[in-house]
Amino acid sequence: MGIQLNWDDSAQTILHCQFESKWTWEDLFQIADRVKAITDNTSHTVAAIIDLTDGMTIPGGNFFSPAALANARQLLTLGDGSTGPVVIVGATTLIKLVYENFKGLDARAARADG
């Protein structure tokens, strides 16, 4: 799998999500499902570290392709009810810009188009 998910601390309050340079949208959706299952079944706040230090490519090579945007839109709806802060390490300037723009979107707007 191109994305690894592990607890970063023994108290299980921080998830560490490490991206390998090659990953697939399927990898990301599997991890998102695991994170949602964890946060749905945890009574305390769970934070996340998104680790991009190994480098990162976008499946298909272009984040702004129709398929990539559709996948990103779907990911926004999966984030409903998340419980804690997210820190991204190792992101390029482009990834930071894309993240900041998507972070500001309302998940309802993502669902309205689909």
Task: Report the pLDDT value the prediction gives residue 111, as an integer from 0 to 100.
Answer: 47
105 pLDDT above the threshold of 80:
no
Task: Report the pLDDT value the prediction gives residue 58, as an integer from 0 to 100.
Answer: 78
Instruction: Report the chain's mean pLDDT, rounded to a whole number.
Output: 81
114 pLDDT above the threshold of 60:
no
Task: Please report, for the chain, the start and end positions of each structural domain, with discontinuous segments joined by +.
Answer: 3-62+72-112
Pick the CATH number of 3-62+72-112 from 2.60.40, 1.10.3720, 1.10.8, 3.30.750: 3.30.750
CB 95 within 8 A of CB 52: yes
Q: Quick: pLDDT tens for 18-66.
A: 999 888 889 988 998 999 899 889 999 999 998 989 877 778 777 778 8
Strands (E), 3-111: 3-7, 14-19, 47-51, 86-89
